[in-house]
Structure 1
């Protein structure tokens, strides 16, 4: 064996602490001015060569876990066949409080039972947590905020609940669609036919923005939007007679904060409810009103006020207990050319 080969195999002489830089001209990591005084210096550290790969690693196929995002129509339909489930549609214009209502309900359930129902699981936890995050202290926001719903297909939040009195589990699906799309129905009635969550809903929940009722100039517009939306749903047949209707006044804390306009706003809501009952009592199985503060931004209402009553209404046994698919219907073409029948379908 040559001298060079012997030198290559000899162990390196350095500090046995691999983090010390003394061997490369640095200072002693232990702080000794005389390196020979350090008990780690001068000890042999063998150089271990990297092991050569023995062969290609065998590919292992993992298990694909289910996602935890909001459900599509097909995913929601599959869930309907797995057990008792109530479908709730939340209808209201932009910023009326739909996402706040869903997030507020979920947040309350994390603290304990609500309205006699206890949280028993969810397949959309990520979407729930994302919706709640900006209203929590951890977000470090100066003011509570709710992420707006993007336009597009309806998505469903899912939660399993246990009735404490009967010890029975029932699921709930909350259909969430951008408010702008529901507003378009007022001028284009047939558009409602392309919203599959409406016809399948056990409870149609129409939101009334309490903050807008404080403005005398906007009250008429709010009342008109609610009545025109309901009229469109009934006329095109997406509100079957077995369906229950919930009229929900949101942002109760904002109403109480304004002493001057508070009484007028509450009276206007009560008048709206009376008119809806008079006009649509025979069109729905039941009409009920609620006043809630799901995620209040002030101390004028406690968090989740009114949500227990609303949750009990949502989770009551539906008038139609047979699960059915959430059928997706095609949207009629806007241009006349697009509505022409294909040549093969025409009759001579």
Structure 2
């Protein structure tokens, strides 16, 4: 009777199963201790010319389009397909940029938000990954968001349909690591290498509400916002037709701190007033919002304040656009620069 030891001493293919390693001294894939007991043993291995047993081309199926965050070139291509609003999310590390995007996506899965209903997305996997750690299924003790990796800006995409409207309008959310935006405070020219800023319809600057609770950190937060805006304006990446949204995040943390919440909210109001005083002529409109996109406590409900913010993001982006700006020449050196500057004002590409 032939044993495994006998097979190990022989040469050549011994099994018709292409995954079996018995000919090279391995174990029987079917689990037989004696090779002769295996129905595949001793049969010729049939290989179709031009293919291999592990060739991916031999695996039936349908290749689906990827559903990850979009690169600059992919986002540029999407702009050509129809009306689209571009939103840049700006803020230091842990200010809540990813939470804001994930919060909007999660709310849209439950129904209309701010008068807009979900109509599809080409970045579904990235949305789901961003939302996972804030959901019960993750089995985390508290909501958590992945840190945005440094590198090129990536975009989340969602199609929306407004109430009483039959056509879709896309929204692109530019997401870049907070550390890179922080660098422009000392080196304003860095902002010129961030194409999402010049192309944004709504520049969205996040203010970390948790830091405003600390009297020692408030002045730093205020300085960061003002220095960042000054860098954008001075470097020319904030065109005058652009709208500005100042968003106070982590409302649940503010409400939880009874001793500091009034001071935090008052300080934010003062910051907004100062930004309006300094930059009213630099933006078409400046509005403020207070949100709890992904609360970690029960002091605010998930998505609080996001309905108003989404309405602002998706409002007509042609607000207060002087005719002279529409004829302005667009720089050609970068991919976004090769698109018409006011694609949304002209009804999309």
TM > 0.5 between the two?
yes
Residue 275 of structure 1 corresponds to 274
Asked if 2 retains the 8 angstrom alpha-carbon contact of 1:193 and 1:329, the reply is no
Q: Quote the offset at 1:168 in angstroms.
A: 2.4
Residue 135 of structure 1 corresponds to 134
Q: Distance in 2 between matches of 1:248 and 1:205?
A: 7
Residue 157 of structure 1 corresponds to 156
Residue 244 of structure 1 corresponds to 243
Aligned counterpart for 1:53 among listed residues 46, 53, 56: 46
Asked if 1 retains the 8 angstrom alpha-carbon contact of 2:76 and 2:336, the reply is no
SS at match of 1:168: coil
Asked if 2 retains the 8 angstrom alpha-carbon contact of 1:253 and 1:293, the reply is yes
Residue 67 of structure 1 corresponds to 66
Q: For the structure 1 residues 54 and 273, does the alpha-carbon distance in structure 2 shift closer, same or farther, using more than 3 Å as the test?
A: closer
Q: Quote the offset at 1:54 in angstroms.
A: 7.7
Residue 255 of structure 1 corresponds to 254
CA RMSD of aligned residues (A): 2.8
Residue 101 of structure 1 corresponds to 100
Aligned counterpart for 1:327 among listed residues 314, 321, 334: 334
Q: Distance in 2 between matches of 1:76 and 1:161?
A: 16
Asked if 2 retains the 8 angstrom alpha-carbon contact of 1:156 and 1:175, the reply is yes
Q: Distance in 2 between matches of 1:78 and 1:329?
A: 10
Residue 32 of structure 1 corresponds to none
Q: Distance in 2 between matches of 1:57 and 1:276?
A: 67
Q: Distance in 1 between matches of 2:62 and 2:85?
A: 31
Q: Distance in 2 between matches of 1:285 and 1:255?
A: 30
Gaps of 5+ in 2: 1-30, 34-38, 338-349
**Which moved further from structure 2: 163-172 or 176-185?**
163-172
Q: Distance in 2 between matches of 1:125 and 1:232?
A: 33
Residue 27 of structure 2 corresponds to none
SS at match of 2:146: coil
Q: Quote the offset at 1:140 in angstroms.
A: 1.1
Asked if 2 retains the 8 angstrom alpha-carbon contact of 1:242 and 1:319, the reply is yes
2:199 corresponds to 1:200: yes
Q: For the structure 1 residues 54 and 178, does the alpha-carbon distance in structure 2 shift closer, same or farther, using more than 3 Å as the test?
A: closer
Gaps of 5+ in 1: 1-20, 25-46, 331-348
SS at match of 1:102: helix
Q: For the structure 1 residues 54 and 93, does the alpha-carbon distance in structure 2 shift closer, same or farther, using more than 3 Å as the test?
A: closer
Residue 41 of structure 1 corresponds to none
2:163 corresponds to 1:181: no
Q: TM-score, normalised by structure 1?
A: 0.77
SS at match of 2:113: coil
Residue 123 of structure 2 corresponds to 124
Residue 315 of structure 2 corresponds to 316
SS at match of 2:293: coil
